[in-house]
Chains A and B, each alone.
Chain A
Amino acid sequence: MKPPFYTRYIIVAAVCLILGAAIVIQMVRINYNTYAQELIVKAQDYQGVTKTIYPERGTIYDRSGHVLATNQIGYELGLELKSVIDPESIAFATANLLEDLNYADIYAIASTEKREIENRYYVLSSYVSKEKIDELERLNENYAQRRAETESTKPSLQGLVWTPMQQRAYPEAELAANVLGFYNYFSRETAQGVYGVEEAYNRLLTGKSQEVYLANDPYLVEVQENIEPGASLVLTIDREIQAMLEETLTEAIEWSDAEGGTIIVADPETGEILGMASTPYFDPNRYWEYQETFPGITPYNRAIGTAYEPGSVFKVITMAAALDSGVADLETTYTDSTGVFWVADSWPIYNWDGGAWGEQDMTGCMQYSLNVCLAHIAIDLLKPDLFYQYVQSFGFGRSTGIDLAGEANYPLRLPQNNQWVELDLATNSFGQGIAVTPIQMVTAITAIANDGRMMTPHVVRSVMSNGQQYNVRPQVINSPISAETAQTLTEMLRIALEEEASNALVSGYSLAGKTGTGEIPTEFGYTSELTNTSFVGWGPTDDPKFVVYVWLEKPTISKWGSEVAAPVFKDVVEKLVVLMNIPPDDIRMGLTNNE
C-alpha cells in the first residue's frame, strides 16, 4: 500500500532533480562557453598583475665618500582618459606647471571623444620633480575645497595621475661628468649607462631586475622578496682635485684662447686616476641636451677619446728606449752643426727654431727639445726594430684598458706596414706622425715615475655589492724599462727643467717633466699655424706621488707648449700639493730623516 501523498512526493522530488540537473548542466555550459576563457582571464587580471621590479641603481662615490651619482624621486605624470571629467582644469594645471607642455595639446588629449569608450592611459611627462607634484597636490586640494563649497563636480583633476619612480641624480652637476657618463632613465625598459663609469659598470650598477606577482586579492598577497640594489662604486677620483682641475682648465682655456683641453692627474704607484678634466663640460642631470653640448664627433671625454700627435712630450719615450737599451747614456753627445738631420738623404728634419745647437749631451737634447738629436737617436742608434719594440712596450698602439667607456685607440704604423717609410721613424721619435690619447701618455709615463712599472689606469677603487666591499688591486701592465733607467731619466728631466728655468717649476718641489708642441696635420701636410700644446710632469722626483698631463688644443695666445701648457702645469701642481698634503721637499726630507 502506497503511503499517503506518495504521488505528490514523487512529483516534488522529480522537480527538484530536474532543477538540480539543470543547474549542473548550466554550470558545465558556462565553464565551456566560448566567452568563459575571456571571463577567466579578466578575473585573473583583477586578481593581480605581474610586474618587473627594477632594483635601485648603485650609488657612485668619490674616493672620500662624497656622492657623485645617486637616485632621487621623480614622478610620471599621465592621464587616465576614462576618468577625466574636467579637461580644462587639467590642461590649465599641467600647462602652468610644466614648461614642456602646452595648454591646447593637453586639452585636446584630455577631451578626446574616445575617452568614454577607451580606457587609455596617456603619458604627459616621464619625469616630473617632487616639488612640482607637491604644487599639483596643493592645487588638487584647493579644487576639492572649491567643489565642496559650490557643490559642483568642477574644477577637478580627476583622471590626472602621478606615479613615483626613481631617477638618476648627479648632485655635483657638471663635476666629473666626463668620467661619470650619464644614465638615460626616461624609459625603464631600455635605460642604460652611457659613456664613462655609468656605461663601463652598467651591469653592476643596474643589479638584477625581478618579475614579481602583485596580488590585488588580499588572500593571495605574499611578502615580496627583498631585491638587492645594484652595486655601488667608490672611485679613485678625488672631488677636491677634480674641482680644482676643472676650474684651472676653464681659466687656462679662457687665457690661452684654446679650442679645448684636458688635464689628468694620476698616482704613478697605483695607476689610480685622481682627477680627469676634459672640455666641454656637461650636466648629466639634463642628459637629453647631450647633442647640444657634443655636436657631431665631439668626444665625450677627450682624455680617453681623442688621439692626437703629441709632439715633444713623446721624446721622453724615445729617450727612455735609448737609455734602457744602452745605445745611449748620460755622457753620450750629439753634435748639431747644421740644425738639420737628413733622413735617407731625402727628407730634412729641423729643430723647433730651425737653429743649430752645437754639441749637446742627452740632457741638453731633452732640455732644448732638439728634434734632430732625437731623430738621430731613433734612426742611427735605436733603429726601427728596437724603437718600435719600446714604443709598443709602453702601450702605444693599443688601449690602456682604463675602466671607462669610449676609449679610442689609433693603431701604430709599423715597419711591416706598406705605408711606413723611414721618415716615420724620424718624426715618431719626437711625437709627430704618431697619434696617442692623453691617457696612453699618462700610462706610459707611470712607468718612468714608478721605477719602470707601468700601471693599469683605473677610476674604480672599490665595488660594494651585497653588503661587502671589494677593493680593486693595482695591476702592473708591463715593465718596459728598468728601475735604474726610470730613475736616470727622471733625474735627467729634473735637471733639464731646472736649467731651462721652465714655466712649470714649482718653488720647493723637485719636478721632472717635458713640454710638447705638436703640429696639426691638414690635408696638405703640416701647414696649420695652430698646434697642440702639452706638458707632462711628475714629482716629487725622489718619490713620485703624481703624474700631471696637460693638453690644450689649438691655443692662439702662443703655439708653444713651454708658454701655454707649462704654466698650467705649474698652476695645477701648486694647488695639487696642498690638496694631496705633500710638504715641500726640504720639510719632507726633514720629516723622513727624523723617522
Chain B
Amino acid sequence: MKKRFLQAYKQAPWRIQIQWIGLFLLGLVLAASIAGLYLNISGQAATTGRRIQNLEYEIGEIQNEIADLTTNLAKEQSVEKMKARAEEMGFKLRDPSTAVYLEIPGFNPADSLVLAPPRVNVLSESPSIRSSYRSSLWDWFVQKIWMSASGSATEGGN
C-alpha cells in the first residue's frame, strides 16, 4: 500500500532529467551572459584606453605644432623682416621736425599690455555651518575618543 502511494507522487525519471538539464543550461546561459557582459565592458575599456592614448599623443602633436607656428609667425613679424617689408612698401622713419601733431580729445592710448585677466583675489570659502554640525555621529564619536586618548583635548568646559 505504502509503495503504491509513493509511486503516485514521484516524478517520472525523464522529467527529473529534464529539470536538471534545464537548471544546468540556465546556469550556463547565466555564466555566458556574465562572461559576454564582462567581455563587452573590458573591450570598451580597452578601446577607450587606446583612444585616450591616441588623444594624448594628438594633444602633444598639436601643442608642438602650435609652438612651431607661433615661432614661425614671430619670425615673420620680427623687426628685421617688418623693417624690410616697410622699406619695400616705401615707408620711412618719421622726421620729428616735419611731423604734424593732432590733439584728439579723449584719446587715451593703452599703456599696458593685457594678455590675461588681472589677478583676482579668490576668497576662501568660509563655512557658514560649524563643522561639528556637519559631522556624522560616528565621526564625532571617533574624534572625541581620539582626542581624549591623545590627551590633547583643548576644549574648555564652560
Contact = CB atoms under 8 A, between A and B. Distances in A.
Interface of A: 56, 59, 61, 63-67, 70-73, 130, 164, 166, 169, 171-173, 175, 215, 217-224, 232, 234, 239-240, 243, 461-462, 464, 467-471, 507-508, 574-575, 577-578, 583-584, 587, 591, 594
A471 B97 CA distance: 36
B68 A507 contact: no
B83 to A, nearest CB: 8
Contacts of A587: 101
Interface of B: 42, 45-50, 52-53, 56, 60-61, 63-65, 67-68, 70-75, 77-80, 83, 93-97, 99, 101, 103, 112-120
A432 to B, nearest CB: 37
Contact of B97 (A65, A239, A508): A508
Contacts of A63: 113
B117 A469 contact: yes
A284 B46 CA distance: 46
Nearest to B60: A164
B46 A219 contact: yes
Nearest to A471: B112
Given A73-B64, A461-B113, A508-B96, A468 B101 contact: no
A470 B74 contact: no
11 contacts: A56-B63, A56-B67, A67-B71, A67-B74, A72-B68, A175-B79, A221-B50, A221-B52, A232-B115, A471-B112, A587-B101
Q: Which of B42, B50, B68, B120 has its CB near the most chain A CB atoms (within 10 A)? A: B68
Contacts of A169: 71, 74
A65 B113 contact: yes
Contacts of B74: 66-67, 70, 169, 171-172
A575 B80 CA distance: 17
B114 A469 contact: yes
Given A56-B63, A71-B67, A130-B68, A171 B113 contact: no
Given A169-B71, A221-B52, A224-B56, A467 B79 contact: no
B96 A584 contact: yes
B101 A583 contact: yes
Given A63-B113, A71-B71, A222-B52, 8 more contacts: A56-B63, A70-B70, A72-B71, A171-B77, A218-B50, A219-B42, A469-B117, A507-B97
A73 B52 CA distance: 23
| Secondary structure of the B contact surface, majority rule | helix
Given A65-B113, A468-B119, A172 B79 contact: yes
Nearest to A222: B52
B46 A218 contact: yes
Most buried by B among A72, A219, A575: A72
Nearest to A574: B96
Contacts of B72: 72
A464 B79 contact: no
Contacts of B103: 591, 594
B116 A464 contact: yes
Given A591-B101, A594-B103, A70 B71 contact: yes
Contacts of A508: 96-97
A471 B45 CA distance: 47
B67 A72 contact: yes
Given A219-B46, A221-B53, A583-B99, A471 B78 contact: no
Contacts of A221: 48-50, 52-53
Query: What 3 pairs across the A-B complex have the smallest Cβ distances?
Result: A218-B49, A171-B74, A221-B49
Nearest to A588: B101
A67 B64 contact: no
A65 B61 CA distance: 26
B124 to A, nearest CB: 17
Given A61-B115, A219-B42, A171 B93 contact: no
A26 B47 CA distance: 35
Contacts of A577: 96
Nearest to B111: A63
Nearest to A217: B49
A468 B120 contact: yes
A164 B117 contact: no
Contacts of A470: 118-119
A223 B70 CA distance: 27
B52 A223 contact: yes
